[in-house]
Structure 1
């Protein structure tokens, strides 16, 4: 079995599929560079990302995939689980080699895996669209830290662009060490790399806008006053709002 290694990018993964059809090996094992451990006993093909090749494969897949299934393709790639790329590779080949209806065959192991993982990533996406809390820091910038299970920043961008179009904001992924920043003047979003390794879940007070602390206290007061102790249901509360989000929620820092 030949090992195919791509450069972690979606374009690299699409190029890998192109190379597979050109080279036509019997079977391959797919790895992203970040997960690959070289072995002297296995033949390795290092995929060189080619935008034109990637576009051809991407367009072929997009033309055959239904709306939800196309979103599933993107979402599963972002889950970054080691086995996901292998499963997604087989799924893409399945789509390319068969009629479009094959994507509705949930009895197929690759279709089932992709749609199951899509639901997990989509759930994480909705959690972060609902539970992200911004803090206003200097230079007219709203800042939020996140630690998502999956790499959801690329798919939550449009939500925050629409919701906070009149503000400059930055959402930073503490696990993957990158962020997305929005400029309200240009309306553009860019990916940024930062050397940001906070020791706690809060931003040091000297970096926070003076009014931000007032707003946070007001929000805490509102949350506390609107809480009805007699109707407390901790089990349901944790189901709706998992504890892993609590350390970044202002209302939980009471």
Structure 2
């Protein structure tokens, strides 16, 4: 078995598929440079990213796979999991070698794998759209720090741009060290040190910004907590069901969860 090592980008993964067909080499294990695992006698092959090669593979996939299949492919890639990358590579090989549509061939382990991973990423996307909380800074910027399980910022961009068109906002992914910033016109990708903003990132509590917040932010924060307490019916408390719909890993971003 050959081991293809790529840079973790979509371009790099598609180049792995290109190389596999170039050299008729399909018994392959793909891995990123950060997660290299190999046996003593396995062959290690560094696959360089090449935009032209990646585009050829991508356009080919679009001809072989339905729009929903392409969506599942992209969502699965955003999971950032090695096992998911392997599914993507195997799926691509299967798609190009097959003479019939494979999108619903769930008896094939890699087609099923894409379906399962895309559902997980899609679920995380919807939860982030629901649970993101902003704090207003003195300069008028609405700021939120998040730590999603998967790289869903590219997927939630359209939702927040549509919903908050009249506000400047920044959603920053603490785990992946980048964010999306809306300047009232376009959304830009930005990089910064989140520790300068949230000193409690490592401890897992709610956001405690060291930047200067708007004077009314504390009031809004307390009003939201009071509203939550007033509509909460303690006699009907069902912690198990509540956690099912609002997992604890999201609580650190929700003002109403911090007393």
TM range (shorter): over 0.9
CA contact (8 A) 1:105 1:111 kept: yes
1:118 aligns with 2:83: no
Secondary structure in 1 aligned to 2:78? helix
Q: RMSD of the TM alignment (CA)?
A: 1.8
Secondary structure in 2 aligned to 1:116? helix
Secondary structure in 2 aligned to 1:179? strand
Deviation at 1:205, TM superposition (A): 5.6
TM-score after normalising by structure 2 = 0.91
TM-score after normalising by structure 1 = 0.92
Deviation at 1:227, TM superposition (A): 1.3
What does residue 202 of structure 1 align with? 207
Structure 1: which 5+ runs fail to align?
none
Deviation at 1:68, TM superposition (A): 2.3
- The equivalent position to 1:246 in structure 2, one of 232, 242, 251, is 251
Secondary structure in 1 aligned to 2:194? coil
CA contact (8 A) 1:76 1:114 kept: yes
Cα 1:215–1:4 change in 2 (3 A) is: same
Secondary structure in 1 aligned to 2:71? helix
Cα 1:89–1:206 change in 2 (3 A) is: closer
Rounded Cα–Cα distance in structure 1 between residues aligned with 2:163 and 2:211: 28
Q: Where in structure 2 are the equivalents of 1:1-254 lying within 5 Å? A: 1-37=1-37, 41-184=41-184, 187-197=185-195, 198-200=198-200, 201-204=206-209, 207-254=212-259
Deviation at 1:207, TM superposition (A): 2.0
Secondary structure in 2 aligned to 1:88? helix
The aligned length equals: 252
CA contact (8 A) 1:65 1:100 kept: no
Structure 2: which 5+ runs fail to align?
201-205
Q: 1:94-143 CA distances to partner (integer Å, 9 max, x unpaired)?
A: 11221452221111111111101111111111110111101112322111
